[in-house]
Amino acid sequence: MFSAQPAPSSNATAENTVTVRYIVKDVPESAEFYSKHLGFTIALDARPVFAVVARGPLRLALSGSAGPGGGSRPMPDGRRPEPGGWNRIQIAVGDLASEVERLRAVGVRFRNETVKGSGGLQILLDDPSGNPIELFQAY
């Protein structure tokens, strides 16, 4: 069963880690959300403009939507990176119903109800900036 406790150290190195950049509205709020509710640890802390949270070999680079960081700079055509969308990380859990109940009890916002797919059960929740996270329980 998944819990908010950090995953055991995996001796992650640059060669065996995966980093996903999420553009967020509030870096401190987002770092706290991932560490408090989803079992990540803060690996690099440059709040309020940037932080990296880690869980096993996964790193989330949390870039503020404004500020000096490269992740928030406009593209040549003027478009600006912003939170949200549908691409997402997936976190495997042992008991999806219990995790949903636990997270709803602390006010986490879900995009949908649990869906039965071909490989298991899944549900989408939003981080504080609206970036999606999929919780998945395999059959």
* Measured distance CA(102)–CA(95) in Å, rounded: 11
Number of domains in the chain: 1
89 belongs to a structural domain = yes
2 belongs to a structural domain = no
1 belongs to a structural domain = no
* Measured distance CA(137)–CA(102) in Å, rounded: 15
Its domain, for residue 91, covers 14-138
69 belongs to a structural domain = yes
6 belongs to a structural domain = no
pLDDT tens, residue order, the chain (139 aa): 445 444 444 556 667 889 999 999 999 999 999 999 999 999 999 999 999 999 999 999 999 887 766 677 888 898 888 888 889 999 999 999 999 999 999 999 999 999 998 899 999 999 999 999 999 999 9
Structure tokens at 83: 């939170």
In terms of pTM, does the model score above 0.75?
Answer: yes
Domain CATH code at residue 24: 3.10.180.10
